[in-house]
Amino acid sequence: MKSFRMVPQLRFLASVRELCETYAIGAGDLVFVSASQQARSFVGVFKGAIVIDYRQYGSGEPTDLMVEGICREIGSRQFQRVVAIGGGTILDVAKLFALKNILPVDQLFAGKIPAVKDKALILLPTTCGTGSEMTNISILELTRSKTKLGLAADALYADEAVLLPELLAGLPFAAFAASSLDALIHAVESYTSPKATALSQLFSLQALTLILKGYQEIAAKGEAARELLLGDFLLASTYAGLAFGNAGCAAVHAMSYPLGAACHVPHGEANYAMFSEVYKTYQMIGGDGSLTALERHLAAILVCQPEQAFAVLDDLLQRILPQKKLREYGVRQADLKEYADIVMTRQGRLMANNYAELSRDTVLGIYEKLL
């Protein structure tokens, strides 16, 4: 049986002022927001709230140590609502604080502590990639086991997801590129997932269309062209979040997690490193036909023949963010067998969504081609 769900109430706001008037954030709220975002958009706004700048608890991708550090900082202070304003790291961490019990984090992610929600959760993305505002998934690097894992539970759904394009203004181009590439890969993997439905595929295709047309505009006019497209990219990220929240991501994400955990590569960039080679492998193996349909859709946007679609897509993506070899991130040949083992033993949730079945040897072969 397949199904489609959209749980968070989705709100579209026009300005920070409207946000402040709508939500009256203050006493009784736990607010996740970076110091730079607060200085840029929310000076003097969150009076009486508990305000957490996650960057004080670690850099890069979210970790169990970050969550534990924030728990210590909050201590016994009480709150009834969690408001998170930020990128995927902030949103994934903040989701956990809507739960009744979080610690120990590794036991929560192992399913030994039930995920029970007892606080309201409002999420506002400030990047155009993760789609986390629409999903019931939190992904952390578990430092003790040296891997990244996802916790999927209905308790992690936001009550409200708020889209405010103004919050993306000033996003550095490298961060914009990596996050929007993450959204593109969400759209592609969810489209070819065996769990995809006609509805999830509609969201996948619309996300792809917005992102690729935006990339074409940027490739033609330069990096600054993105500033007029932030609303489109934010909406595309949310569409892709809806799609993969229902149909799942797959091998690209599963194979990126060891790279992100070991070499601290930003999530979107780590996915991008895997993307083309995984889909070349799918093309060689064959599957249920959704890949052929995807190639036709890409070809219509990229103005090429379907059989050329992924090659033309690669050329466009290279103009947005040049792809690196794994060795440029510090990966060694000796690491690859461990990476393949991690994928096959710890990422079954994702690998179940592959377009075609991939064996350990196939996964290892992909890594070796990318080294």
CATH number at residue 143: 3.40.50.1970
Helix (H, G, I), strand (E, B) or coil at 2: coil
In a domain, 234, yes or no: yes
In a domain, 358, yes or no: yes
Q: Torsions phi, psi of 149, nearest 5?
A: -135, 155
Q: Are 350 and 251 found together in one domain?
A: yes
In a domain, 2, yes or no: no
- DSSP assignments along 99-115, one per residue: BS---SHHHHHTTSS--
Q: What is the pTM of this model?
A: 0.92
116, 155 Cβ separation under 8 angstroms: yes
Look at residue 59 in the predicted model and tell me its pLDDT. 75
Helix (H, G, I), strand (E, B) or coil at 47: coil
CA distance 30 to 21: 17
Q: Are 118 and 207 found together in one domain?
A: no
Q: Which of 115, 133, 168 is the last residue of a domain?
A: 168
Q: Are 186 and 223 found together in one domain?
A: yes
Look at residue 141 in the predicted model and tell me its pLDDT. 86
- Rg, Å, the chain Cα set: 20
Q: Domain range holding 133?
A: 9-168
CA distance 150 to 128: 20
Crossing angle between the packed helical segments 290-302 and 198-221, to the nearest 10 degrees: 30
Number of structural domains in the chain: 2
In a domain, 128, yes or no: yes
Q: Are 184 and 160 found together in one domain?
A: no
CATH number at residue 361: 1.20.1090.10
CA 102 to chain centre: 21
Could you tell me the mean pLDDT of each successive run of 10 residues in the chain, 371 residues long?
89 95 96 93 93 86 91 95 94 96 94 96 95 92 82 96 94 94 98 97 98 98 96 97 95 95 90 97 90 97 97 97 97 97 94 97 98 97
Q: Are 30 and 154 found together in one domain?
A: yes
Helix (H, G, I), strand (E, B) or coil at 169: coil
Q: Which of 144, 168, 192 is the last residue of a domain?
A: 168
Q: Are 155 and 195 found together in one domain?
A: no
- DSSP assignments along 269-330, one per residue: HHHHHHHHHHHHHHHHH--SSHHHHHHHHHHHHHTS-GGGHHHHHHHHHHHHS----GGGGT
Q: Are 125 and 180 found together in one domain?
A: no
Q: Are 135 and 222 found together in one domain?
A: no
Q: Are 270 and 323 found together in one domain?
A: yes
Which amino acid would we find at residue 63? T
In a domain, 206, yes or no: yes
In a domain, 187, yes or no: yes
Cβ-count burial of 332 within 10 angstroms (0-12 exposed, 13-18 middle, 19+ buried)?
Answer: exposed
In a domain, 357, yes or no: yes
In a domain, 1, yes or no: no
Look at residue 58 in the predicted model and tell me its pLDDT. 80
Q: Are 260 and 335 found together in one domain?
A: yes
Stretch (H or E) spanning 205:
helix 198-221
Q: Which of 139, 168, 197 is the last residue of a domain?
A: 168
Q: Are 158 and 181 found together in one domain?
A: no
Q: Are 287 and 320 found together in one domain?
A: yes
